[in-house]
């Protein structure tokens, strides 16, 4: 046995990181449009104006905005989502190149504020829908299955300014309307959906994940509840409109090792999985796990669910689990042992002497992917879909337009081998494999262009200068062969 027939090989992109055209054709500002460009050492900031007319820029991991803050773009700040990779104008060429590679799926997100510019508009923005019509039709022309993320790290910022986005339950009907619009409009053309990208990161970076301006434990509990209900309603709507729709959740996942064989380290390492597991528990099983209710009670968090809400969660369970995996983290239970290693949405890891790291300091650990899949499979027995995985690296564009990226090929090869073992040895049901940022795009954590993941090079620099010409990297031909042979030829 090897990769199943129809295995969905492909890649993933997100609207705010690739499209640009942030204010074209009636698009409203999204939370992502309010994030400045950063660097590897200087984090991105979120900009807003306080009631007294002062403009503030706060680090995205620490944002705690005062009441009445109005988020937006302001003079003197650089916002990379304005142009990103200019996919809005280049999508035809981009999709043709993906088709040339033989892509079977493209995971893309739709921008809610392109369709409902303020989030709660009466009617959708026809031009926004027309753009996605063109993109989806272009994909279908090449038999590339669209895998659509309903909300990938952006929410219409008007909803943040109105009531704090997911802090307020009034966000739910707005999201429902957006989902219903898409479900009905794209019926028969889109069959695979994901609800919220990396929903568990709402507990770490609430504004980036869902436009939530507060970082308190109560705010996180409230926004989690509202998004979980919205996710369940989205699943229900998509199933009702087209029973053949397959809907997944999407969590940022990883693999957490104890720093030593000490039981305290093991407990601490296991605890790192608590947040993604909590979200998965609700989205896959349809109810809040007892451990979360105990945690809320012990910490004085106000929380309750009506019978109707319980019913919604129960009826809106997902068909598969989508997850991102980039790196593993080593964890200590000893407060004296302090680490500062980073990974995707993980901080304060302890250095792991067995693993190499990327230029951005993320560990490279393909075995960790297999362990992650074993864990998810053991817990949920639902089909798994790694919808994000890849290596962010600096590439050099040679004169003549080639890019030699053996490091990327090696990273992806090893991770595909890990998935192969998960399929062949562990018997795990895996739907496909989508590499992150198959076309170079802006990094979510730093806003840089220099942190590249693609098979397709985009000639633009961190300041947004360049021709935006597309070039095939060496990994392009390699991945084409992988897809052609359904993962048999990885040489
Ligand atoms: C995930 C996000 C993506 C993506 C990726 C890589 O958390 O879902 O949007 O960007 O991480 O992270 P980065 O862009 O910071 O390298």
Which atom of ligand 1 is nearest the CA belonging to 451?
A: 16
Beta-carbon contacts of residue 470 (< 8 Å; ≥ 6 apart): 90, 93, 94, 97, 439, 456, 457, 458, 459
DSSP-derived pairing of the beta strands 70-71 and 55-59: unpaired
Judged against a pLDDT cut of 80, whether residue 260 lies above it is answered with: yes
At residue 203 the predicted structure's pLDDT band, cuts being 50, 70 and 90, is: very high
For residues 462-466, give the mean pLDDT. Answer: 94
198 is catalytic: yes
Q: Is the pTM of this model over 0.85?
A: yes
Q: Using the mean position of ligand 1's atoms as its centre, give its distance from the Cα of residue 212 in Å.
A: 18
Whether 122 is catalytic: no
Q: Mean per-residue pLDDT for 8-12?
A: 98
CA–centroid distance, 13 to ligand 1, in Å, is 10
Q: What is the pLDDT of residue 1?
A: 62
| CA distances from residue 358 to 17, 56, 221, 258, 390 in whole angstroms, order as listed | 21, 32, 33, 21, 10
Tens of pLDDT, residues 161-191: 999 999 999 999 999 999 999 999 999 999 9
Catalytic: which of 145, 154, 209, 388? 388
pLDDT of residue 364: 98
455 ligand 1 Cβ < 6 A: no
* pLDDT recorded at residue 279: 98
Q: Average pLDDT, stretch 298-305? A: 98
State mean pLDDT over 389-417. Answer: 97
Residue nearest to atom 9 of ligand 1 (CA): 444
User: What pLDDT sits at residue 59?
Assistant: 85
Interacting residues of 182 by C-beta distance below 8 A, sequence separation 6+:
110, 115, 148, 150, 190
Mind listing the pLDDT tens digit for each residue in 417-429? 999 999 999 999 9
Average pLDDT value over all residues in the chain: 97
Number of CB atoms found within 10 A of residue 401's CB? 13
Does residue 144 register a pLDDT over 70?
A: yes
Residue 394 has pLDDT above 80, yes or no: yes
Q: How far is the CA of 400 from the centre of ligand 1 (A)?
A: 30
Residue 234 near residue 182 (C-beta atoms within 8 A): no
CA distance 72 to 48: 6
Nearest atom in ligand 1 to the alpha carbon of residue 390 is 6
Q: 318-363 pLDDT, tens per residue?
A: 999 999 999 999 999 999 999 989 888 777 899 999 999 999 999 9
Inter-CA distances, 329 with 200, 235, 277, 443, Å:
17, 32, 16, 20
- How many angstroms separate the CA atoms of 395 and 449, rounded? 10
The Cα 469–Cα 466 span in angstroms is 8
Q: Give percent helix, percent strand, percent coil of the chain, each to the nearest 5.
A: 40, 20, 45
DSSP assignment letter at 128:
H
Lowest-pLDDT range of 4-8, 61-65, 307-311: 61-65
Residue nearest to atom 3 of ligand 1 (CA): 444
Cα gap 136→201, rounded to integer Å: 28
Q: Which atom of ligand 1 is nearest to the CA of 392?
A: 16
């Amino acid at each position: 046995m090897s990769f199943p027939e129809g295995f969905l090989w492909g890649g993933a992109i997100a609207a705010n990181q690739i499209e640009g055209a942030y204010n074209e054709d009636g698009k409203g500002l999204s939370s992502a449009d309010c994030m400045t460009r950063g660097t590897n050492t200087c984090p991105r900031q979120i900009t807003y104006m306080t009631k007294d007319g002062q403009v503030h820029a706060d680090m995205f991991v620490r944002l705690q905005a005062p009441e009445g803050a109005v988020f937006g773009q302001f003079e003197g700040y650089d916002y990379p989502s304005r142009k990103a990779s200019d996919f809005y104008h280049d999508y035809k060429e981009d999709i043709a190149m993906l088709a040339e590679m033989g892509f079977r799926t493209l995971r893309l997100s739709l921008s809610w504020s392109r369709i409902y510019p303020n989030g709660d508009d009466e009617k959708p923005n026809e031009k926004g829908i027309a753009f996605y019509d063109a993109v989806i039709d272009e994909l279908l022309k090449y038999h590339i299955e669209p895998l659509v993320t309903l909300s990938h790290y952006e929410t219409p910022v008007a909803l943040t300014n109105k009531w704090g986005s997911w802090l307020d339950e009034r966000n739910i009907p707005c999201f429902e309307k957006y989902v219903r619009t898409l479900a009905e409009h794209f019926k028969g053309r889109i069959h695979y959906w994901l609800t919220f990208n990396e929903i568990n990161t709402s507990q770490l970076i609430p504004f980036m994940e869902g436009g939530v301006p507060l970082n308190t434990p109560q705010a996180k509990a409230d926004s989690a509840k509202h998004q979980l209900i919205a996710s369940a309603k989205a699943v229900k709507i998509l199933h009702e409109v087209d029973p053949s729709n397959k809907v997944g959740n999407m969590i940022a996942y990883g693999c957490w090792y104890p720093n030593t064989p000490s039981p305290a380290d093991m407990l601490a390492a296991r605890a790192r999985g608590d947040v993604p597991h909590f979200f998965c528990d609700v989205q896959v099983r349809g109810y809040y796990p007892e451990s979360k209710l105990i945690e809320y009670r012990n910490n004085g968090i106000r929380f309750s669910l009506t019978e109707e809400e319980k019913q919604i969660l129960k009826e809106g369970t997902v068909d598969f689990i989508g997850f991102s995996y980039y790196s593993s983290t080593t964890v200590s239970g000893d407060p004296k042992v302090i680490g500062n290693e980073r990974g995707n949405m993980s901080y304060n890891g302890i250095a792991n002497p067995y693993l190499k790291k990327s230029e951005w300091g993320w560990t490279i650990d393909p075995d960790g992917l297999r362990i992650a899949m074993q864990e998810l499979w053991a817990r949920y027995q639902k089909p798994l879909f790694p919808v994000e995985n890849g290596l962010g690296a600096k590439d050099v564009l040679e004169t003549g337009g080639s890019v030699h990226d053996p490091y990327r090929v090696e990273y992806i090869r090893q991770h595909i081998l890990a998935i192969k073992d998960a399929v062949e040895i562990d018997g795990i049901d895996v739907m496909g494999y989508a590499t992150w940022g198959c076309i170079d795009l802006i990094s979510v954590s730093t806003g840089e262009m220099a942190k590249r993941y693609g098979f397709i090079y985009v000639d633009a620099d961190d300041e947004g200068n360049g021709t935006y010409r597309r070039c095939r990297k060496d990994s392009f031909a390699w991945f084409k062969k992988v897809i052609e042979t359904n993962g048999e030829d990885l040489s």
